[in-house]
Chains A and B, each alone.
Chain A
Amino acid sequence: MIRDRTWGSRLTDIVILVVLISITLTCILPIWYTLALSLSSNSAAAAGQVWLWPVGFNFNAYTQILKDTQFFGSFWISIQRVALGAALNFVVVLLMAYPLSRTDRQFKARGVLMWILVFCMLFNGGLIPLYLTVKGLGMLNSVWALVLVGGAQTLVFNVILTVNFFRNLPKELDEAALVDGAGPWYSLFRIYLPLAVPVLATITLFSIVYHWNEFLYGLIFMTREQYYPLQTYIQQLVVSVDPATMSEDQYRRLSELSNRTLDAAKIFIAMLPIMVVYPFLQRYFIHGITLGSVKE
């Protein structure tokens, strides 16, 4: 790209850089603030004195979390959920995307099957039948409820993304394989799979992020808190309670439990895994999203 070197242009460059950097800063500051809060003293946090630097620096919140078995139990459930959910998503999406990326001539049912998927994505019977289904399958309190129910809802979107990616791959590869007498399985695993790394990395990242962040199903399908995934566990720390529905001793216990620095520390730890993972997957997903959704 050709650039002119006038002063006006340089000034524009500087303005752009400043704007970009300040916008970028707003993306880090909230996280920094949470970290500062978690390292502050409880009274400073409650009085709202903390801003960019911890006040009354200490690690109490973190040492307290180390003793919290519930927190680590939930953390472990979330890890399991992410691992199972992402793996299952990977396999099923890959298998579905191949036939659905055939042309209408190659696979006649494609159109109908695709609309069924869209239908599934949009319609639902509400939480109560979902609960009855999960219960009927004996999956209450099982991590599989989270993996399968959540996974089914994100499945369609991932399939559509992958189908689009497949359709944009050069047709010649596929046809050459057919001429050599290779079947669809060979074609899928030997030709498409190696080429589909970007999109599969993308949907895997989507799946990881979804399963890590989703909180509502934990609340619905887990009958005891020891089975909660991490986000559900954190969510219930933040909601407030109505004293009119409680007796006074319940209320008393609750009021002794609130603790802002501890909450901040839990929130910060809950962010860590995602912050560690995404920079590594980034170069794949840039490729995956753009190829999957946009065809120029």
Chain B
Amino acid sequence: MKRKVKAACVVALSAVLALGACSSGSETATEPTTEEEQTQSTEPADPYGSYEEPMTISIGMQVDPTDKDLPTGDTPLDNQYTRQIEEALNIKVEHAFTASAANMRQKISLAIASNDLPDAMVVNAVELRQMVAAGQLADLTQVYERYASPEIKDIIDKTDGAALKSVTFDGKMYAIPGVQADADGIHIMWIRQDWLDKLGLEPPKSMEELATVARAFVEEDPDGNGSADTIGISGPQSGDGKMYANFLESKNNLYGFDAIFSAYGAFPGYWLDDGSGKPVYGSTLPETKEALSGLRDLYAQGLIDPEMAVREASDEPIINGKSGIFFAPWWMGYGPLTNAVKNDPEANWQAYALPLDADGAFRPHAATPSTEFVVVRKDYANPEVPMKMLNNLFKNEMENTFDPSKGGPGFYPLRVVFAPSDEIEFTNKAIKEVLAGTKTKEDYVNDRPYKLLPSDLENITKIKQEPYDDWSIGTWTPDADWGAWTRAYSIMVGGNPIVDTEMERINSLIYEQTPLMESRWVNLKKMEDEMFLKIVMGVAPVDSFDQFVEDWKRQGGEQITNEVAEAIQQ
């Protein structure tokens, strides 16, 4: 018997070795081509040049199977975008894996952990750092220098180095950073203006007024159906819903309480200067405790959605006309508002840079410009291929080559957003000028990086009727073109408070992880999220905040703070 067991062990062992051989075998580089030799030089190359030999690139891509945007016959691998890429660049795209939005992170983790990487994919900041640490990525410094198109370089430069900093490790650039408009990081108050008008109320300027308005929304039957089924303030949804954006995910936090926190002067989740040049974590400051206590009161009085943090989808009550207030960025036309207005054409959602803090100022936290990164596998023979694809995307978006009705831009392989930092503000102002007749479309022909501006200016009069200084829902005609309305309503109604309000933006000292965070942050963050939710929902006493601060420091927070201090020295 013993011999048999030994034999079994030998079989197992040889299988292990074979496996090891397999997995390392698959990583060996494909034959280098002439293109690779070119990347050694530093001379600029043609950002749009086509390859003579067909190139293939395998990518990981987000595809939602229930998404029926593509015309019949087209697939995520064969559609207007892939055909254009093949035609213009002679690049053939293959899928190493696809996953829905919900499973994408998990698939990427699996690819990283098993070192079974596609040639290129789009990752987030944490994954980027992990891959750099594991030595899995190609150095893209030269590629960016030589191949990036002038417009993309321009957009990246306009972030004052923030975008480049987020992808530079030890002086080398390991990814191409996407750049999103600054406005994505400003969380404003969306409110049912028609409910306010009906109840004879003004938009709430302070926390006290917010409570008053929310109470009226809950108790005075603003939807007039005779039953007490309305929500004052919407809250985060279950699963990934957050009460506030944080330094790692600093933008697009829907249905959180970001503006309420900043009204208390609190910036949880952000790394702040303690006044003496030393970093301090916002979640551990007394202002945050105060804000939590304020939220706790609102929740206890039933003014915040009682189902917050458990509701599967926080947009549901908004769409169904059951919620009066929520906090989110400017682009809510793309969010729940399209369906809300389709359900009830009178639902007059307006946005305000409110509530204000004790000094009467609106001081929102600001986001990092880059949250999505295109990375390239270390041994991929043609690391410039993804850069060329991005150049090509941006060029064709400027030239309006693609027809969104034949599949949204999400089907463009390796797509990340390149938006000028001030895209929303600029477009908002331009539309107002054109509506007022002070400028015409032709005055903007040279603003090429604002790639959607021409169509925005073209479409606005289709869907916006006079008076042009009133943005109530009644002055819009969305039925004329829902697609254009979605964007224009977002830019105008959502953009107005950003354009019209003087605001001091609070930045986090860093937007990336430090080394120790890799192993500790998840657990610290989890502790924080749980504790804060419990405090707000009245499960734990407010003073357990102090215990949290102590635990946080003891369980690695202190060391991490030191690391952050070092990181900002550099």
A residues in contact (CB < 8 Å) with B = 43, 46-47, 70, 108-109, 112, 127-128, 131-133, 135-136, 219-220, 223-226, 233, 236-237, 239-258
Residues B101 and A244 in contact, CB atoms below 8 Å apart: no
B residues in contact with A236, CB < 8 Å = 100, 102-103
Question: Number of contact residues on B: which range applies?
Answer: 35 or more
Please tell me if the beta carbons of B1 and A240 are within 8 angstroms of each other in the complex. no
State the 5 A-B residue pairs at the shortest beta-carbon distance, nearest first: A242-B240, A223-B97, A240-B239, A244-B249, A252-B334
B280 to chain A, nearest CB (A): 23
Tell me whether B251 is interfacial, beta carbon within 8 Å.
Answer: yes
Whether A136 touches B240, Cβ cut-off 8 Å, given contacts A112-B1, A244-B251, is: no
Residue of B nearest to A232 (CB): B103
CA distance A109 to B1 in the complex (A): 6
Q: Are A240 and B254 in contact (CB under 8 A)?
A: no
B98 and A224 within 8 A (CB) = yes
B313 at the interface (CB under 8 A from A): yes
B245 at the interface (CB under 8 A from A): yes
- List, in ascending order, chain A residues with CB within 8 A of B519's CB: none
Given A236-B103, A242-B239, A253-B408 contact (CB < 8 Å): yes
* Chain B residues with CB below 8 A from A250, complex form: 62, 101, 410
Q: Is B500 an interface residue (CB 8 A)?
A: no
Chain-A contact segment, one of B108-116, B208-216, B547-555: B108-116
Is B45 part of the binding interface, using a Cβ–Cβ cutoff of 8 Å?
A: no
Contact across chains for A241 and B240 when beta carbons are under 8 A apart: yes
Is B110's CB under 8 angstroms from A225's CB? no
Out of A112, A240, A241, A249, which one reaches B409, CB within 8 Å? A249
Is A255 touching B336 in the complex (CB atoms < 8 A)? Answer: yes
A108-B1, A127-B110, A242-B240 are contacts. A255–B62 as well, Cβ < 8 Å?
no
CB–CB B4/A225 < 8 A: no
Contacts of A43 in B (CB 8 A): 320
| Residue contact A225 to B239, C-beta cutoff 8 Å | no
B206 within 8 A of partner (CB)? no
Q: Does B516 contact A (CB under 8 A)?
A: no
Q: Which of A112, A132, A254 contacts B23 (CB 8 A)?
A: A132
CA distance A219 to B320 in the complex (A): 33
Q: Contact between B315 and A255 (Cβ–Cβ < 8 Å)?
A: yes
When C-beta atoms are compared, the residue in chain B nearest to A68 turns out to be B66
Q: Tell me whether B312 and A135 are in contact (CB under 8 A).
A: no
Q: Are A219 and B239 in contact (CB under 8 A)?
A: no
A220-B110, A242-B240 are known contacts. Are A252 and B103 too (CB-CB below 8 A)? no
Contact with A along B331-366 (1 / 0, CB 8 A): 100111011000000000000000000000000000
Other than A241-B102, A244-B240, A248-B252, give 18 A-B pairs with Cβ distance below 8 A: A46-B316, A108-B1, A136-B18, A224-B63, A226-B65, A236-B103, A240-B102, A240-B312, A242-B242, A243-B252, A243-B253, A244-B249, A244-B252, A244-B371, A245-B124, A250-B101, A251-B335, A252-B486
CA distance A242 to B22 in the complex (A): 36
Q: A70-B65, A224-B98, A241-B102 are in contact. Are A135 and B114 (CB under 8 A)?
A: yes
> Are B238 and A247 within 8 A (Cβ)?
no
From known contacts A219-B103, A243-B254, A251-B334, infer whether A132 and B114 are also in contact, taking CB-CB under 8 Å. yes
B43 within 8 A of A: no
Q: Flag if B101 contacts A136 (CB, 8 Å).
A: no
CB within 8 A of A128: which of B110, B312, B315? B110
Instruction: Please state if A244 and B245 are interface contacts (CB–CB under 8 Å).
Output: yes
Q: Which one of A127, A244, A248, A257 contacts B64 once the chains associate, using CB atoms below 8 Å?
A: A257
Chain A residue numbers with a CB within 8 Å of B1 are 108-109, 112
Q: Is the CB of A244 within 8 A of B242?
A: yes
* Contact call B252/A246, Cβ cutoff below 8 A: yes
User: How many angstroms between the C-alpha atoms of A236 and B237 in the bound complex?
Assistant: 17
Q: Are the C-beta atoms of B331 and A248 separated by less than 8 Å? A: yes
A128 with B114: CB separation less than 8 A:
yes
In the complex, A258→B320 CA distance in Å?
14
Residues of A within 8 A of B238 (CB): 240
Instruction: Report how far A240 CA is from B313 CA in the complex, Å.
Output: 7
Which of A127, A133, A223, A255 meets B335, CB within 8 Å? A255
Contact of B105 among A136, A245, A258 (CB under 8 A): A245
Any chain A CB within 8 A of the CB of B528?
A: no
Interface readout for B482-510 with A: 1 if CB under 8 Å, 0 if not? Answer: 00001000000000000000000000000
| B242 / chain A contacts, CB cutoff of 8 Å | 242, 244
List A contacts of B410 (CB < 8 A): 247, 249-250, 253
Chain B CB within 10 A, most for which of A43, A112, A220, A240: A240
Complex CA distance for A112 and B237, rounded to whole angstroms? 52
Q: A47 near B63 (CB under 8 angstroms)?
A: no
Residue numbers in A under 8 Å from B63 (CB-CB): 224-225
CB of B141 within 8 A of chain A?
no
Q: How far is the CA of A47 from the CA of B229 in the complex (A)?
A: 11
CB distance from A47 to the nearest CB of B (A): 6
Q: Are A237 and B313 in contact (CB under 8 A)?
A: no
Nearest Cβ on chain A to B242's Cβ, whole angstroms: 7
Task: Considering the complex, give the chain A residue whose CB is closest to the CB of B486.
Answer: A252
Whether B116 contacts A135 by the Cβ 8 Å rule is yes
Least CB separation from B102: chain A residue: A239
Chain B hits for A224, CB < 8 A: 63, 95, 97-98
Judged by a CB distance under 8 angstroms, whether B119 is at the interface is: no
Contact with A along B141-180 (1 / 0, CB 8 A): 0000000000000000000000000000000000000001
Q: Known contacts A240-B313, A247-B180; decide if A136 and B95 are in contact (CB<8 Å).
A: no
- In contact, A249 and B408 (Cβ under 8 angstroms): yes
- A256 CA / B7 CA spacing, docked (Å): 58
Cβ contact of B69, chosen from A112, A133, A253, cutoff 8 A: A253
Query: What CA separation (Å) do A131 and B109 show in the bound complex?
Result: 12
How far does the Cβ of A236 sit from chain B's closest Cβ, in whole Å?
5
Closest to A133 in B: B19
Task: Considering the complex, give the chain A residue whose CB is closest to the CB of B229.
Answer: A47
Q: A237-B66, A245-B249, A250-B62 are in contact. Are A136 and B19 (CB under 8 A)?
A: yes
CB–CB A135/B23 < 8 A: yes
Q: CB-CB < 8 A to A128: which residues of B?
A: 110, 113-114
Chain B, residue nearest A67 (CB): B68
**How long is the Cα–Cα vector from A87 to B493 in the complex, in angstroms?**
62
**Closest approach, in angstroms, between the C-beta of B380 and any C-beta of chain A?**
18
Q: Is the CB of B4 within 8 A of A248?
A: no
Q: How far is the CA of A102 from the CA of B506 in the complex (A)?
A: 75
* Contacts A/B (CB < 8 Å), 24 sampled: A109-B1, A128-B113, A131-B116, A132-B19, A135-B22, A219-B106, A224-B95, A224-B98, A225-B98, A240-B237, A244-B242, A245-B371, A246-B101, A249-B408, A249-B409, A249-B410, A250-B62, A253-B67, A253-B408, A254-B64, A254-B101, A255-B315, A255-B335, A255-B336
- Max chain B CB contacts within 10 Å: which of A133, A224, A239? A224
Chain B residues within 8 Å of A108, by CB: 1
CA distance A77 to B19 in the complex (A): 27
In the complex, the answer to whether A257 meets B66 with C-beta atoms within 8 Å is yes
Q: Which residues of B contact A241 (CB under 8 A)?
A: 101-102, 239-240
A254 to B103, CA, bound (A): 13
Most central of B5, B65, B95 by chain A CB within 10 Å: B65
Q: Which of B243-299 contact A (CB under 8 A)?
A: 245, 249, 251-254
Whether B398 is near chain A, meaning CB under 8 Å from some CB there, is no
CB-based contact B372/A247 at 8 Å: yes
* Smallest beta-carbon distance B312→chain A, Å: 6
**Nearest CB of A to B71, in Å:** 15
> Is B251's CB under 8 angstroms from A136's CB?
no
- Known contacts A46-B320, A70-B65, A223 near B95 by CB under 8 Å: yes
Query: How far apart are A259's CB and chain B's nearest CB, in angstroms?
Result: 8
Task: Flag B374-410 by CB within 8 Å of A: 1 or 0 each.
Answer: 0000000000000000000000000000000000111
Task: Say how far B7's CB is from chain A's closest CB, in angstroms.
Answer: 13
Within 8 A of A (CB), among B457-481: none
Query: Which residues from B are CB-within-8-Å of A255?
Result: 315, 335-336, 339
Q: Which residue of A lies closest to B255 (CB)?
A: A243
